[in-house]
Structure 1
Amino acid sequence: MIDKLQVVKQRFDEVSDLIIQPDVIMDQKRYVKLNKEYKDLKKIVDKGEEYKSALASIEEANEIIADGSDEEMVEMAKMELEEASARLPVLEEEIKFLLIPKDPEDAKNVIVEIRAGTGGDEASIFAGDLYRMYTKFASEKGWKVELEDLSEGTSGGFKEIIFSVSGEEVYGTLKFESGVHRVQRVPQTETQGRVHTSAATVMVLPEAEEFDIDLKMSDVRVDYFCASGPGGQSVNTTYSAVRLTHIPTGIVAQCQDQKSQHKNKDKAFKVLRTRIYEVELEKKLQEDAAKRKTLVSSGDRSAKIRTYNYPQGRVTEHRIGLTLYDLNNVMNGDLTKIIEELKLAENSEKLKATETDF
């Protein structure tokens, strides 16, 4: 453990020196990457100092007890020894988790796409409920949510809604939400009180920065059209909506949310870059999955991951066998318990894979 901490400290010192170099500050891509590494390493270095301090306390206490010349000092040393000895294994576990290699995508902002699945109008209403759940969760975290595009359902909710979330460690928190979400409840349109099962698919994509994707304008076809749906006369009668097609891949992104054609174009480019980036990320996820089969992989978008059962007030997270009888709070954005358990499950798997190093 001490050897590993020493290696981390050496790298921390190197990065601390690099991020104040003028040539690094001028290279924004490198500076952002190094600054993130600095913050991550600092957490380990600080925890390492606590660990070394506990070891020093144990050594000092043992020396005082072995000497035995001062009874009062011996009693204090015994208390110190007990406290430091209890703290040591806790610190070791915390450091082990901090030393697990982090996904470089975790710090990114995200684009979230929610699509109504099986269940007709009820699936669209459920997609709207999920959107509300995520926006409330984001608000609690102090994150910013921005609507990118939507297609409304005929009886409420959305056939599809795309929005971005920006803040700290957004992808690292929301990445496990990708997959099929099922709802079991009596729809508003059901006259005989029967419980129906409907579904919506959630995709959480790490937002691509401009330097992540080399997007050539010559590869993008830009189409302008009149926006549909609500928005008033100025939206529906001007060519403010924008559709972008990436010719080499056939990937399409569009935005009609803003009255300004320029703003819609900027938003559509953000979604397009992210979707192209996601294709490359998907290949990486599949390679990682081949190396290490993970319970809570964010790769399989067709997997049924969670069920929201209204008659029983129950939420079941299928990947880790977690059941909570707290449906109202979950639908009101209280996702912390579920996400923390999913993170713990993933980290435990990663720890098993790297335990031979400790």
Structure 2
Amino acid sequence: MLDRLQYIKQRFDEVSDLVIQPDIISDQKRYVQLNKEYKDLKALVDKRDEYLIVTGNLKEAQEIIADGSDPEMTDMAKMQLDEAKQRLPELEDEIKFMLIPKDPEDAKNVMVEIRAGTGGDEASIFAGDLFRMYTKYCESKGWRTSVVDMNEGTSGGFKEVIFEVTGEDVYGTLKFEAGVHRVQRVPQTETQGRVHTSAATVMVLPEAEEFDVHLDMNEVRIDYFCSSGPGGQSVNTTKSAVRLTHLPTGLVAQCQDEKSQHKNKDKATQVLRSRLYEMELAKKQEEDAAKRSSQVSSGDRSAKIRTYNYPQGRVTDHRIGLTLYDLDGVMNGNITKVVEELQLVNNTEKLKESEVY
């Protein structure tokens, strides 16, 4: 572990020199990449420095205790030794987790698609609840959200809503939200007070750059149409909405959120590129899954991953057996505990397979 940390320290010193070079600063893309690497490496270097201090304190305390000539110093050394022995295993675990190779996709922005499933109007309302939950969570993280397309339900919520999330390590945080979310509650339309079960499907697509996937616009059919829904008088009178159909795969992406036809086309293109990229990524994940059985799936849109039970005020994530009795907090965007537990389980699985373990 110390050998790897020493290599990281050397790379950190190299990156520290590079980020202040004029030619790097003038190259915005390269500058952003190196700045992110600098931040990631600095966190590890800080842990390395703490590790060296703690191991140094432990050795020093052992030497003082072995000498035993000064009773007062010996007592202080015993306290120092206890502190070091308690901190060292914690620190080693923290460093091991940080040394797990990161998925290169994790740093990407995402497109989140929420679709109402079984349950009719109640499923659409639930899809709207999930949309609100995620946007509030993103707001708490300092991420920016932008609606790409929506199809409102007849009694509220959405039959489908697609939104973009931009920020730091967005995909790595949200990717485990993909799957079927189930709600158990008494619908507003239910007159006899019976609990109904409805569902919504969440997809989390890493946002693809042009170099990630080749999209030949000659293979894309472009249709323009009038937008529907809220947005002002001009929305329904001008053909600003755009629908793109990728002819080889049949994938469709559309956007009607912006008044500008050009902006809608750009957003729809980004969605289409992300869906194509997700297809390729899904193939890779299937290959990886064949090599190892992962308890926490990301991207399996058919798996029932979580239940939101209103009568009992609980949320249960079925993949890791986690139950929280804080339904109101969760629906208001406080999903940090669930996200962290999912990441912890996933990282533990990776740790068991890695050379670090």
**TM band (smaller chain):** over 0.9
SS at match of 2:106: coil
1:313 is aligned to 2:299: no
- Cα distance in 2 for partners of 1:56, 1:244 equals 62
What is the correspondence of 1:18-167 to structure 2 with a 5 Å cutoff?
Answer: 18-20=18-20, 29-167=29-167
- Cα distance in 1 for partners of 2:129, 2:345 equals 27
- Cα distance in 2 for partners of 1:181, 1:172 equals 19
Q: Determine if contact 1:68/1:74 at 8 Å carries over to the other structure.
A: yes
- Cα distance in 2 for partners of 1:246, 1:20 equals 43
Unaligned runs of 5+ in 2: none
Q: Report % sequence identity.
A: 76
Deviation at 1:18, TM superposition (A): 4.2
- Cα distance in 1 for partners of 2:179, 2:348 equals 21
Deviation at 1:185, TM superposition (A): 1.1
Q: Give the match for residue 298 of structure 1.
A: 298
- Cα distance in 1 for partners of 2:300, 2:155 equals 30
Question: Residue 144 of structure 2 aligns to which amino acid in structure 1?
Answer: K
Deviation sequence 1:272-329 (CA, Å, 0-9, x none): 2211211121122112212221111203110000011111112111001111121111
Deviation sequence 1:111-145 (CA, Å, 0-9, x none): 11000001111111111111111111112222211
1:340 is aligned to 2:321: no
Structure 1 stretch displaced more, 136-145 or 153-162: 136-145
SS at match of 1:83: helix
Q: Give the match for residue 265 of structure 1.
A: 265
Deviation sequence 1:233-275 (CA, Å, 0-9, x none): 3111111111122333332211111111122112112212211
Deviation at 1:339, TM superposition (A): 1.0
SS at match of 1:148: strand
- Cα distance in 2 for partners of 1:313, 1:357 equals 40
Deviation at 1:29, TM superposition (A): 4.9
- Cα distance in 2 for partners of 1:303, 1:54 equals 45
Once superposed, what is the RMSD of the aligned Cα atoms?
1.9
Q: Give the match for residue 5 of structure 2.
A: 5
- Cα distance in 1 for partners of 2:301, 2:29 equals 30
Deviation at 1:196, TM superposition (A): 1.1
SS at match of 1:105: helix
Structure 1 stretch displaced more, 76-85 or 16-25: 16-25
Q: Determine if contact 1:29/1:211 at 8 Å carries over to the other structure.
A: no
Q: Determine if contact 1:179/1:301 at 8 Å carries over to the other structure.
A: yes
Structure 1 stretch displaced more, 68-77 or 197-206: 68-77
- Cα distance in 2 for partners of 1:206, 1:317 equals 22
Question: Residue 259 of structure 1 aligns to which amino acid in structure 2?
Answer: K
Q: Determine if contact 2:253/2:272 at 8 Å carries over to the other structure.
A: yes
TM-score norm. by structure 1 comes to 0.93
Question: Residue 353 of structure 1 aligns to which amino acid in structure 2?
Answer: E
Structure 1 stretch displaced more, 268-277 or 22-31: 22-31
- Cα distance in 1 for partners of 2:184, 2:5 equals 49
- Cα distance in 1 for partners of 2:26, 2:244 equals 32
Structure 1 stretch displaced more, 87-96 or 227-236: 227-236
Deviation at 1:36, TM superposition (A): 2.6
- Cα distance in 2 for partners of 1:67, 1:267 equals 71
Deviation sequence 1:1-30 (CA, Å, 0-9, x none): 222212222333343344445665566555
What is the count of residue pairs matched by the alignment?
357
- Cα distance in 2 for partners of 1:6, 1:306 equals 42
- Cα distance in 1 for partners of 2:31, 2:250 equals 33
- Cα distance in 2 for partners of 1:40, 1:283 equals 29
Q: Determine if contact 1:286/1:299 at 8 Å carries over to the other structure.
A: no
Q: Determine if contact 1:152/1:159 at 8 Å carries over to the other structure.
A: yes
- Cα distance in 1 for partners of 2:142, 2:31 equals 25
- Cα distance in 1 for partners of 2:113, 2:195 equals 26
Q: Determine if contact 2:100/2:356 at 8 Å carries over to the other structure.
A: no
Q: Determine if contact 2:226/2:239 at 8 Å carries over to the other structure.
A: yes
